[in-house]
A = this chain, B = another copy of it.
């Protein structure tokens, strides 16, 4: 979720940037999450053959569409959700 939001906003991010933006996530989880998102055709992965290594992540078209859907529902949520008391 946070990966999708971040990439929806910044368009392109490196692994370490994502890790910094997503508070508290471990490198391990970020790796497996990005791998899943890639498998599901939501993010694209671009590797630069350099030293030090550099990998950029971005949303696919489908990922962008999904991102908008999620932004829709979450902004609707913050507008309409009231805690009972």
* Bound: A80/B65 CA distance, A: 10
Given contacts A69-B73, A73-B69, A73-B73, contact A62 B80 (CB under 8 A): yes
A84 at the interface (CB under 8 A from B): yes
Cβ-defined contact, A81 with B62, below 8 A? yes
- A49 to chain B minimum Cβ distance, whole angstroms, is 23
Q: Is the interface of A mostly helix, strand, loop or mixed?
A: helix
A22: shortest Cβ distance to chain B, in Å?
22
- Residues of A within 8 A of B (CB-CB), count: 16
Judge whether A48 is part of the interface by a CB distance below 8 angstroms: no
Contact present for A41 and B80 (CB under 8 Å)? no
Q: A28 near B: Cβ within 8 Å?
A: no
Give complex CA distance A76, B69 in Å: 9
